[in-house]
């Protein structure tokens, strides 16, 4: 988690300084506008991705629970000889649950922290870019 944290901390600084040093021709506020644009796009992208990860992970988790209650044949099916065999639908739901648990428990909520860190760093360093 060090690299994503460094990315969030260093990206507004890098964008602001590049625009302040190299692209300040007739527009004195271009660096602040560029960092504000980075903040807006980062926030929008982070919120939408976190929303997808939280809801998608919860849906995959609930799909497995739903199948285990007996929907779509439940955990086991009965073959022609009367033996219990594993239901492939339940197997697919287990794979979905394996992916969905980290989505809803870690990846989605961590993006909220990432967005907050991005906005804090950007707003604290805003006077540097003006």
Count of structural domains within the chain: 1
Q: What is the pLDDT of residue 128?
A: 87
CA 95, 100, 106, 112 torsion: positive or negative? Answer: positive
Q: What is the pLDDT of residue 78?
A: 86
Angle between helices 108-124 and 30-68 (to 10 degrees): 170
Q: What is the pLDDT of residues 9-26, one digit of tens each?
A: 999 999 999 998 888 777
What mean pLDDT is reported for the chain?
Answer: 89
Q: What is the pLDDT of residue 4?
A: 80
Note down the domain range covering 71: 2-129
Region 68-74: what's the mean pLDDT? 89
Region 80-109: what's the mean pLDDT? 90
79 has a pLDDT exceeding 90? no
1 has a pLDDT exceeding 80? no
CB atoms within 10 A of CB 47: 13
First-to-final CA distance of the chain: 31
> What is the percent of the chain with per-residue pLDDT over 90, rounded to a whole number?
51
107 has a pLDDT exceeding 90? no
113 has a pLDDT exceeding 90? no
């Amino acid at each position: 988690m060090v690299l994503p944290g460094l990315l969030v901390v260093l990206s507004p600084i890098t964008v602001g300084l590049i625009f302040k040093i190299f692209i300040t021709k007739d527009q004195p506020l271009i660096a602040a506008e560029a960092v504000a644009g980075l903040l807006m796009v980062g926030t929008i992208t982070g919120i939408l991705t976190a929303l997808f990860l939280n809801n998608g992970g919860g849906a995959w988790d609930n799909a497995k629970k739903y199948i285990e209650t007996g929907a779509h044949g439940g955990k086991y099916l009965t073959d022609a000889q009367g033996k219990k065999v594993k239901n492939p639908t339940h197997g697919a739901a287990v794979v979905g649950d394996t992916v969905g648990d980290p989505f809803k428990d870690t990846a989605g909520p961590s993006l909220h922290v990432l967005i907050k860190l991005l906005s804090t760093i950007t707003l604290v360093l805003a006077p540097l870019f003006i």
